[in-house]
Amino acid sequence: MQKSYLRPTYIEVDQQAIYHNVHETKNRLHDDTELFAVVKADAYGHGLIPVARVCREAGATGFCVATMDEAIALRNAQITEPILVLGITSPQTAAIAAVQHISLTVGDLDWLAEATTYLQADTNLPVLNLHLALDTGMGRIGFTEKNNLAAAIQQINESLTFNFEGIFTHFATADEIDQHYFDQQLAKFNDMMSVVSQRPRYVHVANSATSLWHQVCHANMIRFGIGIYGLNPSGSAIELPYELQPALSLYSELVFVKQIPAGAAVSYGATYHASTAEWIGTIPIGYADGWLRRLSGMTVLINGVRCPIVGRVCMDQIMVRLPEKFAVGAKVTLIGRDGDDEISAQEVAEYSNTIHYEIICGLHDRIPRHYLPRRED
């Protein structure tokens, strides 16, 4: 989607907040524990390359992405640290990954067999680093049986084209108060690890939630994701053990202001009618930007005052009810602080019955990202 630089809607990313969140977390880890920054999905909507560079400055020793394309983009930006693709990739990409020194995730024996045929076609390729995924209860990807895991490890260790670099699992409920299912997954992981006679370089089970609230498995690497961006993995269910600073704010401005008479309708479907004469302001953002249609009725901040969205959210515009006539050009805060009030991504998520991950990842590329510089230490 074409970025709209000449429209007054933009995202502001605080690089100092990102640095703080990574640096504080890294300092709390054991000396032998590494931090890989999870920058998939364009760094959760914050911008892949700028975020990766700040994370590296803050102490991240590697990166996790979801796709090969994201990994290659990091390599093209001269990010030389280890990169792990967390999702399953086509075996046909194995040679590309080897050349680019990108680590791949493996979840079954068939993948190994097929990738071997592609790698053996070129004897000059570097060794391909692999991480074995264990499905201990997430139900997504990975080995579920010890015999298959043992066979995969043996095949990798006997191969001249593979290197057993890592092994990991993913907890489904690490961000919940009830630990019952978490403990079940932990027991399953420990049981499956019994066939791993020699631990690889990286053993990692901790996403942001696990790293914040659990110390388990004698792992030596964490995958730090949503915490980078200053958001609580549990939403508001569990208090954070230390401060994280939100990095993303979303702003626009009033582009049109008018007074409508009592009874006048606003937006598609005429679902909203003014009860009295009302001042209505128009803001250039809509569901094509990721400001969801179900956010009708949500408030925004203008001049420090909460103003509700009235009528349905349109593709490119929303309308808000103003307490009085505000000037065209007045700043609008959709996520962020204005004066003594603040609208968080969590508040937006709760209003729209979803999670803050979806809110920030859903903000489309059409909205330009502006980066506040990091303060020099």
Element at 221 (helix H, strand E):
strand 221-224
**CATH architecture, domain 248-372:** Beta Barrel (2.40)
Nearest Cα to Cα of residue 168 among 128, 218, 206: 206
Alpha-carbon distance 251 to 41, whole Å? 21
Which parts of the chain sit beneath pLDDT 50? none
**DSSP 8-class letter at 143:** B
Output the known binding site: 140, 315
Contact 247, 14 (CB under 8 A): yes
Beta carbons within 8 Å of 232's beta carbon, 6+ residues apart = 226, 238, 240, 244, 346
What pLDDT is attached to residue 1? 81
- Domain residue extents for the chain: 32-229, 248-372
Predicted pLDDT at 375: 77
For 75, phi then psi, to 5°, come to -60, -40
How many Å apart are CA 65 and CA 69, to the nearest integer? Answer: 9
Using alpha carbons only, give the angle 141, 144, 148 rounded to the nearest 5 degrees: 110
Predicted pLDDT at 243: 87
CA atoms within 13 A on the CB side of 356: 23
- Distances from the Cα of 126 to the Cαs of 76, 109, 144, 159, 165, in angstroms? 18, 21, 29, 13, 14
Q: How far, in Å, CA of 365 to CA of 11, rounded?
A: 10
Collapsing DSSP states into helix, strand and coil, what is residue 283? strand
Q: Which residues are annotated as a binding site for substrate?
A: 140, 315
Pick the catalytic residue from 40, 251, 272, 287: 40
Contact 68, 94 (CB under 8 A): no
Does residue 3 carry a catalytic annotation?
Answer: no
pLDDT at 209: 58
CATH, domain range 32-229: 3.20.20.10
Active site (annotated) includes residue 10: no
**Per annotation, catalytic residue among 3, 268, 325, 331:** 268
Neighbours of 363 (CB within 10 A): 23
* Predicted pLDDT at 5: 96
Count how many residues are written for the chain. 377
Q: Retrieve residue 21's tokens.
A: 């969140």
Measured over the CA atoms of residue 239, residue 240, residue 243 and residue 247, the dihedral's sign is negative
pLDDT value, residue 173? 83
Tokens of 326: 């505000």
Distances (CA, A) of 358 to 140, 198, 214, 267, 349: 19, 39, 24, 25, 8
Q: What is the pLDDT of residue 240?
A: 74
